[in-house]
Amino acid sequence: MFINDISEKIEIVEVGPRDGFQNECDVISLENKVRTIESLVETGLKYIEATSFVHPKWVPQLADADQLLQKITSIDKVRFSVLVPNEKGFERALQANVKEICLFLSASESHNKKNVNMTPEESMKNFSGIIKAALSKSMIVRCIIATSFACPFEGTIKPEAVLKIATDLVEYGVNEVVLADTIGHANPRQVYELFSLLKSRVPEVIISAHFHDTMGMGLSNVLAALQAGIRKFDASVGGLGGCPFAPGASGNIATEDIVNMLNRMGYKTGISLEKLLETSSLLENIVGRPASSHMSRLELV
């Protein structure tokens, strides 16, 4: 069933500056990253994942993370988060005075090893100290469970594997758990069932969704998650993104597409579709190709 009270606000986390730019073949200049973030702020977005403190050897596209954060520290209209892969990344986050960190691990052992060269169990052990230290500094801790539905190396992921990780993370004290369909193979039934199970297991934390559109089911999966009670979604302007360690994964669901759908259904996002399309157009010039979103190809009606 749909949300009866359409006055209930749906929150969108813009991940383009991190998840989008990390997958570009050419490194985006610091100047263009700042321009993109400034344009996103003007849309009314309140949550932006700005960058990652991953080692430049693995993701050279985000090697300027420290400089970027210095450039945007004066922007107070939004809450910026930074992806932190390990203790070293957390130390950089502390030095940058970051208020919100994103941790990530995979439900799939093969994908986790490709991504961070650790098993999921090793990642969890690594996170325990980071989470404790972050919470002691009054940071908000968001944790993304990648390949929650399917893995490019192992196929379909069993729900219990995801639920076990999520439950452990909540016991560690994280503020938010994000289930990610990293390769875009999830279907609406899977989405509804897994999010419903998770909400019943850990009702005390924020649960969010992160979908990719590889098989064209991104927005359908958003709708299924809405029906399961999810009120917070990741998206990337222009549909940028993917995963460097997930062969064949296409971009994230486009921010302008999810905002258009929610707005037309009567839900409140507080985000200007017109301004989003302006940012999407800006990005087309920056990355040198058309946006992959549906709305970027249509005239507004």
Question: Residue 2: what pLDDT?
Answer: 55
How confident is the model over 132-182, as pLDDT tens digits? 999 999 999 999 999 999 998 899 999 999 999 999 999 999 999 999 999
Residues annotated catalytic, as ranges: 243
**pLDDT band at 8, cuts 50/70/90?**
confident
Long-range residue pairs from 258-265, CB within 8 A, at least 24 positions apart, any chain: 258/12, 258/219, 258/222, 258/233, 259/12, 259/235, 260/294, 260/295, 261/219, 261/222, 261/223, 262/10, 265/2, 265/6
How remote is the C-alpha of 4 from its chain's centroid? 26
Rounded Cα–Cα distance for residues 105 and 125 (Å): 11
Structure tokens at 268: 């409140």
Residues linked to residue 209 through DSSP beta bridges, in sequence order: 179, 233
**pLDDT band at 301, cuts 50/70/90?**
very low
How confident is the model over 64-122, as pLDDT tens digits? 999 999 999 889 889 999 999 999 999 999 999 999 999 999 999 888 888 778 888 88
Rounded Cα–Cα distance for residues 183 and 212 (Å): 6
Global pTM exceeds 0.95: no
How confident is the model over 17-65, as pLDDT tens digits? 999 999 888 899 999 999 999 999 999 999 999 999 998 988 999 999 9
Domains and CATH numbers, the chain: 11-297 (3.20.20.70)
